Amino acid sequence: MLRDTYLIMSNEIKVTFRNPFWIFHGLVQPLIYLVLFGPLLNGVASARGFPSANAIQFFAPGLLIMNALFSAGFVGFSLQDKVECGFLERLRVTPVRRVALAMGLILVSSIELLIQSTALVLCALLFGLRFDPWGGLLLVALILLIGIAMASTSFTLALLTREGGVLAGVTNTFVLPLLILSGVMLPVTFGPPIIQALARLDPFLYAVNAARALMSGAILDGSVAAAFVIFAALSVATLAVFIRGMREAVA
């Protein structure tokens, strides 16, 4: 099974990075947020009620979480391409373990996410970001958990919806509210009570708060434990569903 996973993964890596557009949608896009949106926040940072005087310190951790949400949340499209060209079907008639098919794809999406996150952090350092090394390491773990949960969800939706248009609609419908309510862009405390109540249902609110705490070195902050518990549970559950989807005779 390990060999199967390795074969699927290495093939996927080769194919992913051979695509010249990967640089654009994989790397440039997340950096655009940082470069264009970051400076805008500097103006807001002095506003009353804004939690941090330094905009980058507030914005960069959230951006890392947002990138995980977006990058992994849209990986399903690549799987639909594989269904469309018959690639997945071809693999499914070989004796390859179904778990290996799922794990290979998930691992590659995790590797992509690691590269993007590293690039984001390096870039944010230029903008004056400072972070606690231990907190940073824990944040990497949290980002990977988020990536697994989102990628598994997106892959599963890709298998269920079959069609790119439908997948795009479904994905946007749940990704956007998750993003807005997470307080990545602006603190949720700016909003009316109803929004604040809704935000409490958004797992990404806890992730963003945890990311900010971790970067500042507050490893023992309650938000950190909450985020880890939530996303560990979500990633296990969604991965199990995805593996089950791969086992069943889809595609």
Partner 1 sequence: MAAPIISIAKLSKRFSTRGRASIEAVRGIDLEVERGEIFGLLGPNGAGKTTTMRMLCTLLVPTGGTANVTGYDLMTQASEIRRHIGYVGQKGGMEPIATGRENLMLHAQLYRMSRTEAARRIDMLIERLQLAEFADRKAETYSGGQRRIFDLASGVINMPELLFLDEPTTGLDPQSRTRVQDEVRALNKQGTTIFLTTHYLEEADSVCSRVAIVDHGRIAALGSPAELKKQIAGDIVNLGYDDEEGVAAASSLMNGTRLVLESQRIGATLHLYVNRGDEALPEIMRILGQGGRPPKTVQLSRPSLDEVFLKLTGHALSESKKED
What minimum distance in Å lies between the beta carbon of 100 and partner 1?
9
Residue number with CB closer to partner 1 (46 or 94): 94
Asked if residue 2 binds partner 1 (CB under 8 A), the reply is no
Site string for partner 1, 26-65 (x = CB under 8 A): ----------------------------------------
Size of the site for partner 1 (CB under 8 A): 25
Candidates 13, 15, 31, 226: give the one binding partner 1 (CB under 8 A).
15
Residue number with CB closer to partner 1 (90 or 200): 90
What minimum distance in Å lies between the beta carbon of 96 and partner 1?
5
Sign of CA dihedral 15, 114, 102, 84: negative
Residue number with CB closer to partner 1 (16 or 52): 16
CA distances from 59 to 145, 148, 161, 169, 247 (A): 20, 23, 34, 27, 40
Residue type, 92: R
What minimum distance in Å lies between the beta carbon of 216 and partner 1?
42
What minimum distance in Å lies between the beta carbon of 249 and partner 1?
5
Contact positions with partner 1 (CB under 8 A) in 63-102 = 82, 84-96
Candidates 150, 185, 210, 251: give the one binding partner 1 (CB under 8 A).
251
For 105-137, the DSSP string reads HHHHHHHHHHHHHHHHHHHHHHTT----HHHHH
How many CB atoms are located within 10 Å of the residue 203 CB?
19
Tokens matching residue 46: 């002095």
Q: Tell me the window of 3-11, 68-76, 181-189, 211-219 that interacts with partner 1 (CB under 8 A).
A: 3-11
Tokens matching residue 108: 């590659």
Contact positions with partner 1 (CB under 8 A) in 91-150 = 91-96
What minimum distance in Å lies between the beta carbon of 129 and partner 1?
35
Q: Quick one: which of 2, 148, 120 has its CA closest to 56?
A: 120
Question: Could you give the 3-state DSSP secondary structure of residue 56?
Answer: helix
Residue type, 147: G
How many CB atoms are located within 10 Å of the residue 197 CB?
11
Q: Tell me the window of 8-16, 67-75, 211-219, 232-240 that interacts with partner 1 (CB under 8 A).
A: 8-16
Asked if residue 4 binds partner 1 (CB under 8 A), the reply is yes
Q: Which helix or strand (DSSP H or E) is residue 98 part of?
A: helix 98-126
Which residue pairs, CB below 8 angstroms and at least 24 apart, start in 36-42? 37/63, 37/185, 38/124, 38/127
What minimum distance in Å lies between the beta carbon of 92 and partner 1?
6
Residues lying near partner 1 in the complex (CB under 8 A): 3-4, 7, 11, 14-15, 18-19, 82, 84-96, 248-249, 251
